[in-house]
Amino acid sequence: MKTSVMTFSQAIGDGIVVEMERDPNVYVAGEDVWGARGGNFLVTKAPYEKFGPARVLDTPISETAILGHAVGAAMVGLRPIVEIMFVDFMGVCFDELMNQAAKLRYMTGGQVDMPLVIRCADGAGLGAAAQHSQSLEGLLTHIPGLKVVCASTPAEAKGLLTSAVRDDNPVVFLEHKGLYGLEGDVPEGEHLVPLGKADVKREGADVTIVTWSAMVHEALRAAQLLSGDGVDVEVVDLRSLVPLDTATILESVGKTHRVVIVHEAARTCGFGAEVSALMADEGFDLLDAPVRRVTGLDTPIPFSPPLEAECLPNADKIRAAVVAGLN
């Protein structure tokens, strides 16, 4: 398969272009998604250059209107890809998300599909302060009817986006702001990564780290540090939280017998608690030590860079948790 080096943002844009070429019902809509800038993070630059304003629609500054129109469009057979610029702004259109997009396929008895992708930038680490730095995947996974995806590499971002566009259910596609500039080899043309299938990013025998999104890279750094300590770490990247690949998690922990869950979101009711519950329900006999979590703090994200860093997991904090779990 031929590949090209792309950034994370370019890979998503390339996936959008491929799907718009394949299906005339696919279109893009959102605030500032058109023109030379191509969105706040340059993702829609290539789609706009290819298809122009007829299929890359600039919207008013109204998340309610963006998602509301997309729900109606999806109901009549279009396949919108809408951008809610920051996941923090989901609160503005939460009724359209929670009570309309997530429920209409069920409430109509399957008479209408809801092929809708909602792209959002999330995550902290860039000094964007409390209203532009949240990780809200746990909140979104609590809504039945939504699928929730968190890519960690450019190739997976393209492949998961493609699968999301082709799905007949609403998919929230979370893009960590700190990953947009990450470069990697990306397959050219059509590329699919299935929803609901985790990926073992690093194999190991002593402890499993379960994580997703930008924390995958911190976990891999921690694993490298721990290898110097003689600890062999396995890193499982969930990639999609709903649907969740429980089999890969349990298989990994069945091999290592220890698990550390890492996520950037606040600790209380974060998605890591659901993974921990899975271990209690289905993996208790696999464990030789208690489940440990390394998470963000239960606080709004500060603007101050040193305080922001203190609130977030990193490789050193993950390493310390792994070592503590081995003792």
**Catalytic center residues:** 63, 132
- CB neighbour list of residue 85: distance below 8 Å, 6 or more residues apart: 30, 31, 32, 39, 40, 120, 121
Cα-Cα end-to-end distance for the chain: 45
In this structure, are strands 292-296 and 259-266 parallel, antiparallel, or unpaired? parallel
Tokens read off for 265: 């979101």
Which residue type, as a one-letter code, is found at position 49? E
Tokens read off for 48: 């706009």
Task: Report the run of H or E that residue 95 belongs to, with start and end.
Answer: helix 94-95
- CB neighbour list of residue 168: distance below 8 Å, 6 or more residues apart: 105, 113, 114, 115
Task: Report the run of H or E that residue 158 belongs to, with start and end.
Answer: helix 154-166
Tell me which residue has tokens 């809504």. 143
d(C-alpha 130, C-alpha 266), whole Å: 12
In this structure, are strands 183-187 and 3-7 parallel, antiparallel, or unpaired? antiparallel
324 by Cβ neighbours in 10 Å (0-12 / 13-18 / 19+) ranks as exposed
Using DSSP, state whether 165 is helix, strand or coil: helix
Q: Are 151 and 123 in contact (CB under 8 A)?
A: no
Which residue type, as a one-letter code, is found at position 214? A
Residues paired with residue 176 on neighbouring β-strands, in sequence order: 122
Tell me which residue has tokens 């002593």. 206
